[in-house]
Amino acid sequence: MYVYDEHDRQMAAERVAQFRDQTERALAGELAEDEFLPLRLQNGLYVQRLAPMLRICVPYGMMRSDQLRRLARITRDYDKGYAHFTTRQNVQLNWPALEDVPDILAELAEVEMHANQTSGNCIRNTTTDQFSGVQSDEIADPRPYCEIIRQWSTFHPEFAFLPRKFKVAVNASEHTDRAAIQVHDIGLQMVRNEAGELGFRVHVGGGLGRTPMVGPVIREFLPEMDLLTYLEAVLRVYNRYGRRDNKFKARIKILVKALTPEGFAEKVEAEWQHIKDSPTRLTPEAVQRIQAYFTEPDYANLDNATDLLASQRFEHREFDQWLTHNVDTHKKPGYAIVSLTMKKTGTPPGDVSDKQLEQIAELADEFSFGEIRVTHQQNVVLADVRQDRLLELWQAITPMGFGTANLNTLTDVICCPGGDYCALANAKSIPVAEAIQRQFDDLDYLYDLGNIDLNISGCMNACGHHHVGNIGVLGVDKKGQEFYQISLGGSSHHDASIGKILGPSFARDEMPQVISKIIDVYVDKRTEEETFLDTYRRVGIDPFKERVYA
Partner 1 sequence: MPNVISQDGSIREDNWVVVPRPAEGESLDIPADQPALIPADLWLAGYEHFTGRQDIGVWFDSHDEPEILEGHVNELPVIAVNFPKFSDGRGYSIGRLLRERFGYVNELRAIGDVLLDQLQFMKRCGFDAYVLRADKDITKAQKCLNFFSQGYQAATDTDVPLFRRRAS
| List of residues contacting partner 1 (CB under 8 A) | 5, 7, 10-11, 14-15, 17-18, 21-22, 30-31, 35, 38-39, 121, 148, 151-152, 154-162, 236, 239-240, 244, 274, 278-280, 282-283, 285-286, 289
The DSSP element (H or E) to which 436 belongs, if any, is helix 430-439
Least separation in angstroms between residue 157's CB and partner 1 is 4
**Count of residues making up the chain:** 550
Min dist. Cβ of residue 330 to partner 1 (A): 31
Residue 19's closest CA among 35, 32, 2, 36? 36
From residue 384, how far is each of 227, 239, 292, 369, 448 by CA, in Å?
29, 41, 18, 7, 29
**DSSP secondary structure of 225-270:** GGHHHHHHHHHHHHHHHS--S-GGG-SHHHHHHHH-HHHHHHHHHH
- Residue with Cβ nearer partner 1 (14 or 509): 14
Distance CA 167, CA 285 (A): 27
| 170 or 454: CB nearest partner 1 | 170
Nearer to partner 1, 278 or 481 (CB): 278
CB of 271 to partner 1, least distance (A): 10
Q: Smallest distance, Å, CB 176 to partner 1?
A: 30
Helices (H), ranges, 292-412:
306-315, 317-326, 354-367, 390-397
Q: Quote the least distance from Cβ 534 to partner 1, whole Å.
A: 44
Q: Where are the alpha helices (DSSP H) in 135-199?
A: 143-153
Question: What SS3 string covers 506-533?
Answer: EEHHHHHHHHHHHHHHHHHHCCCCCCHH
**Cβ 336 to partner 1 shortest distance, Å:** 35
Closest to partner 1 by CB, 290 or 364? 290
Q: How many CA atoms lie within 13 A of 38 on its CB side?
A: 12
CB of 240 to partner 1, least distance (A): 5
Nearer CB in complex with partner 1: 244/547: 244
State the minimum distance, in angstroms, from the CB of residue 159 to partner 1: 7
172 vs 166: CA distance, rounded Å: 20
Kindly tell me which of 14 and 318 has the beta carbon lying closer to partner 1: 14
Nearer Cβ to partner 1, position 292 or 308? Answer: 292
| Burial class for 292, CB neighbours closer than 10 Å (0-12, 13-18, 19+) | exposed
The helix-helix angle for 306-315 and 317-326 (nearest 10°) equals: 130
Pick 230 or 536: Cβ nearer partner 1: 230
In the complex, least distance from residue 435 CB atom to partner 1, rounded to whole angstroms:
41
| Distance between CA atoms of residues 486 and 427, nearest Å | 14
> In this complex, which beta carbon is closest to partner 1, that of residue 225 or of residue 400?
225
Name the residue among 7, 98, 15 with its Cα closest to residue 54.
Answer: 98
Q: How far is the CB of 267 from partner 1 (least distance, A)?
A: 13
> Are 455 and 466 spatial neighbours (Cβ–Cβ below 8 Å)?
yes
Half-sphere exposure at residue 259, Cβ-oriented, CA atoms within 13 angstroms:
21
Instruction: For residues 424 and 463, give the distance between their C-alpha atoms in angstroms, rounded to a whole number.
Output: 11
d(Cα 546, Cα 550) in Å, to the nearest integer? 6
Using the minimum distance from each CB to partner 1, give the nearer residue, 31 or 400.
Answer: 31
How far apart CA 120 and CA 124 sit, in angstroms, is 8
Q: What are phi and psi of 7, to 5 degrees?
A: -70, -50
| Minimum separation from the CB atom of position 20 to partner 1 (A) | 10
How far apart CA 331 and CA 87 sit, in angstroms, is 26
C-beta closer to partner 1: residue 225 or 539: 225
For residue 92, list its beta bridge partners. 55, 84
Shortest separation between residue 225's beta carbon and partner 1, angstroms? 11
Choice between 151 and 341, CB closer to partner 1: 151
Burial status of residue 467 (CB atoms within 10 A of its CB: 0-12, 13-18, 19 or more) = buried
Residue with smaller CB distance to partner 1, 13 or 50:
13
Least Cβ distance, residue 51 to partner 1 (angstroms): 24
Q: Name the minimum Å distance from CB 150 to partner 1.
A: 9
Calpha distance 31→47 (Å, rounded): 16
Nearer Cβ to partner 1 (16/511): 16
